[in-house]
């Protein structure tokens, strides 16, 4: 995905990047793409990254950081390639009632092995919607 952005810099940009623990690789990607936000899995990894990136890139960690990245109003599309529930939760929250994006904001799940986890979380969000109201419900698509 980043190679596509690199080849089309006049039309595409990266506003957030995330990784579980790859501080060095994420630092290289931040240098190459200058995102507003970078997210790592742990606070210790985030501290290490802060020393390697410009102050213009905010560095967060954990599920809350992933959710914030997914909800960035400046992101026209979110592509989630993270394995595990934290990435799926962030993707679902992008489309949920708390998102700052308009309804039907595009999001893609690139980690196919997480589809069952993603669908479970979508079901939980839909149940919360039915019980407590809200203006959007997350959904899935076969297009990717």
In-domain check, residue 88: yes
Mean residue pLDDT of the chain comes to 75
pTM above 0.75, yes or no: no
In-domain check, residue 143: no
Structural domains in the chain (count): 1
Task: Return d(Cα 27, Cα 47) in angstroms, integer.
Answer: 12
In-domain check, residue 47: yes
Q: Which two tokens stand for residue 45?
A: 């990894």
CB distance 53 to 30 below 8 Å: yes
Q: Which residue has the tokens 């999001």?
A: 107
Q: Which two tokens stand for residue 75?
A: 């992101």
Q: Which residue has the tokens 């809200």?
A: 134
Residue 71: which domain range?
2-132
Is the model more confident about 119 or about 83? 83
**4-15 per-position pLDDT tens digit:** 889 999 998 999
User: Would you call 63 helix, strand, or coil by DSSP?
Assistant: helix
Q: What is the pLDDT of residue 95?
A: 59
CA dihedral in degrees (39, 49, 21, 78; nearest 10)? 20
Specify the CATH number for the domain of residue 16: 3.40.50.720
**91-101 per-position pLDDT tens digit:** 666 656 454 54
Task: Using pLDDT thresholds of 50, 70 and 90, give the confidence band for residue 142.
Answer: very low
In-domain check, residue 19: yes
Q: Which two tokens stand for residue 42?
A: 């742990």
Q: Which residues are within 8 A (CB) of 87 and not within 5 positions of it... i.e. 6 or more apart?
A: 18, 66, 80, 81, 111, 114
Q: Locate all alpha helices (DSSP H) within 19-142, ordered by sequence.
A: 23-33, 43-50, 62-70, 85-95, 115-132
First to last CA, the chain: 12
Q: What is the pLDDT of residue 40?
A: 95
CA dihedral in degrees (56, 30, 37, 108; nearest 10)? 150
Task: Return d(Cα 38, Cα 28) in angstroms, integer.
Answer: 12
In-domain check, residue 138: no
Is the model more confident about 121 or about 63? 63
**31-89 per-position pLDDT tens digit:** 999 999 999 999 999 999 999 999 999 999 998 898 888 888 888 877 777 666 666 66
């Amino acid at each position: 995905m980043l190679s596509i952005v690199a080849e089309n810099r006049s039309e595409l940009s990266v506003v957030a990047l995330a990784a579980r623990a790859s501080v060095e690789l994420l630092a290289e990607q931040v240098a190459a793409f200058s995102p507003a936000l970078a997210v790592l899995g742990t606070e210790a990894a985030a501290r290490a990254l802060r020393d390697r990136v410009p102050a213009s890139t905010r560095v967060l960690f954990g599920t809350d950081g992933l959710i914030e990245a997914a909800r960035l109003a400046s992101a026209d599309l979110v592509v989630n390639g993270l394995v595990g529930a934290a990435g799926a939760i962030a993707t679902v929250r992008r489309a949920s009632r708390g998102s700052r994006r308009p309804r039907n904001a595009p999001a893609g799940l690139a980690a196919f092995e997480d589809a069952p986890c993603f669908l479970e979380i979508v079901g939980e969000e839909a149940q919360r919607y039915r019980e407590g109201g809200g203006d959007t419900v997350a959904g899935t698509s076969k297009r990717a």
